[in-house]
Amino acid sequence: MSSDERCPYQDGRVVIDHAFKADSPARFSRLRELGPIHPAEFHLGLKGWVIVGYDLAREALTHPALLKDATPAAEALAAAGYVLHRPSVGLGAQMMEADPPEHTRLRRLVSAVFTPRRTAEMAPRVEQTAHSLIDAMPPSGELDLVEAFNAPLPATVIAGLLGIPHRHHHDFRRWAGQALQVASPEHRPALAALHALLTELIADKRRRPQDDLLSALVAVRDEEDGRLSEEELVGTALMLVVAGHETTVNLLGNAVLALLRHPGQPELLRARPELMPDAVEEFLRYDPSVERSTSRYAARDLLLGGVAIPRGSMVAVALGSAGHDAPQPGGGDPAVLDVTRPGAPPSGLRARHPPLPRCPARPPGGDDRPAHPAHPDPGTGTRRPGGLVAVDRLRDRPRRAVPPGALPRGLTVAAVRRRPGPRRGARTGTVPGGTASGRRARQCREGRTQRKLVARSGSPWPW
């Protein structure tokens, strides 16, 4: 047993850095053995607490004294140079950075725009885009699945959903990918560029409204809640860009990797395509595209899991770890991917965090609905429908993927080999993955690898 396996602490804390992320499933498993909550050091040197156990995660996500209001931690955040929580320069002024009753008001206004009709209309758009991207791939040889499919798919769909003109699509995709590189020099310029683009587009939609989501957000009004302010419009649009883009990129990469590492699962999906909706929920539970929650801040001194948490402390839930600690229907092993595991996909914005799928204990006849925290994940409105169609389209197309290596979450580059086979319309073939070759599958470019690792090393935003 290595020293890391015996003691995951460094100087009294769990340091969630690149080395931790390279082996996070094993390290989180060790942490769960030691306890449900641990002192941690996140990126930019920010210190706080990470929750790894399912039961305590459920408690923390709805704890009345753990708030999104960062005022008690303002001095520490400013000293670290962290700005994502701030309006105008970061991702503030939207529901994911608000507490009730403001959160409730914002959510109600945005939910009015995400109607069932608008969500249903996404499917053919996603399907058409997915087919176009796959058709553009060479019929054989090796390519980067992330660059060729996983990244452009959500960027194209979200740009169309928001009504972003085609001339901006290239820059939009680049900025969306850079906006969460918290430790990168591109981070703030990308945020500033997205703010400027969305501000300009909102003004244009106000003058010339169209049938798109941005125009609908500008027009939405409620007798009780009023309208979204200019700052809230930009913040909400930016939140949808981030929540829908990066999480879908990660979902697709993680799903392909999970299928590669569980050879029997692709055969099940090939034989029983009706399993796909629950399979997407299982991918999100098994290796979530959102590995940790947005940060909460202690509004007062409190106890969590018997540990004293001082006022102003940052607290984050390791959602992936909690998902592997959660009780499963029928007593299944949460450490195993099972695409037949029953799920309960939420609709629209009414989302649960994917790794908290079931209540830990229910009386006879009690509530069997999935648990969800007070702060839903708005990216679900774009991520789940897009992920479902995209994974299903990849399932249709024969290919042989080379399995990525030591960093299984948020793949930045995934080399795949495609073998000749039927084109669009064919309903036979292998699930992405098929047979793994011996060649090392994950080839990383330093810059993009840094982005993912930083984003998963304690970012107060979960990506």
Q: Does the structure show a pLDDT above 90 at 410?
A: no
* Residue 20: predicted pLDDT: 84
DSSP conformation class of 431:
P
Q: Does the structure show a pLDDT above 50 at 356?
A: no
Q: Does the structure show a pLDDT above 60 at 80?
A: yes
**Residue range 442-451: average pLDDT?**
28
* C-alpha–C-alpha distance, residues 273 and 185, integer Å: 44
Residue 447 in tokens: 């810059």
Is the distance from CB of 307 to CB of 49 less than 8 angstroms? yes
Phi first, then psi, for residue 110 (nearest 5°) are: -70, -35
**Residue range 81-99: average pLDDT?**
81
* Residue 40: predicted pLDDT: 95
**Residue range 49-71: average pLDDT?**
95
Query: Given pLDDT bands bounded at 50, 70 and 90, which one contains residue 459?
Result: very low
80 alpha carbon, distance to own chain's centre:
24
**Residue range 163-174: average pLDDT?**
88
Is the distance from CB of 396 to CB of 433 less than 8 angstroms? no
Is the distance from CB of 297 to CB of 70 less than 8 angstroms? yes
Q: Does the structure show a pLDDT above 80 at 327?
A: yes
Neighbours of 64 (CB within 10 A): 11
* Residue 94: predicted pLDDT: 85
Contacts of 162 (CB under 8 A, 6+ apart): 201, 212, 213, 214, 237, 240, 241
* C-alpha–C-alpha distance, residues 212 and 209, integer Å: 8
**Residue range 332-350: average pLDDT?**
66
Query: Given pLDDT bands bounded at 50, 70 and 90, which one contains residue 364?
Result: very low
**Residue range 402-409: average pLDDT?**
34
**Residue range 238-255: average pLDDT?**
85
* Residue 332: predicted pLDDT: 82
**Residue range 345-360: average pLDDT?**
31
Q: Does the structure show a pLDDT above 80 at 449?
A: no
* Residue 56: predicted pLDDT: 96
380-399 confidence digits (pLDDT tens): 444 445 555 556 555 554 44
175-192 confidence digits (pLDDT tens): 887 877 777 788 888 888
* Residue 201: predicted pLDDT: 93
More confident residue, 372 or 154: 154
Look at residue 42 and give its three-state secondary structure. Answer: coil
Average pLDDT, the chain: 74
More confident residue, 202 or 20: 202
**For residue 317, which amino acid is it?**
V
**For residue 191, which amino acid is it?**
L
109-155 confidence digits (pLDDT tens): 888 888 788 878 888 888 899 989 988 988 777 888 888 898 899 88
Query: Given pLDDT bands bounded at 50, 70 and 90, which one contains residue 419?
Result: low
Is the distance from CB of 349 to CB of 107 less than 8 angstroms? yes
* Residue 415: predicted pLDDT: 61
Is the distance from CB of 83 to CB of 91 less than 8 angstroms? no
**Residue range 157-171: average pLDDT?**
89
Residue (of 283, 463, 409) closest to 27 by Cα position: 409
* C-alpha–C-alpha distance, residues 279 and 453, integer Å: 26
Q: Does the structure show a pLDDT above 50 at 203?
A: yes
Residue (of 71, 62, 31, 96) closest to 459 by Cα position: 96
41-55, 67-81, 305-319, 407-421: segment of lowest average pLDDT: 407-421
Residue 154 in tokens: 């959500």
**For residue 51, which amino acid is it?**
I
* Residue 184: predicted pLDDT: 77
Query: Given pLDDT bands bounded at 50, 70 and 90, which one contains residue 200?
Result: very high
- Residues of the chain with pLDDT > 70, as a percent, come to 72
* C-alpha–C-alpha distance, residues 320 and 18, integer Å: 17
4-56 confidence digits (pLDDT tens): 455 788 888 999 887 887 788 889 999 999 999 999 998 888 999 999 999 99
* C-alpha–C-alpha distance, residues 177 and 180, integer Å: 7
Residue 15 β-bridge partners: 41
Q: Which domains does the chain have, with CATH numbers?
A: 3-455 (1.10.630.10)
Query: Given pLDDT bands bounded at 50, 70 and 90, which one contains residue 417?
Result: low
Do you know the residue count of the chain?
A: 463
- Residues of the chain with pLDDT > 90, as a percent, come to 25
* Residue 30: predicted pLDDT: 94
* Residue 392: predicted pLDDT: 59
More confident residue, 76 or 143: 76
Rg (CA), the chain: 21
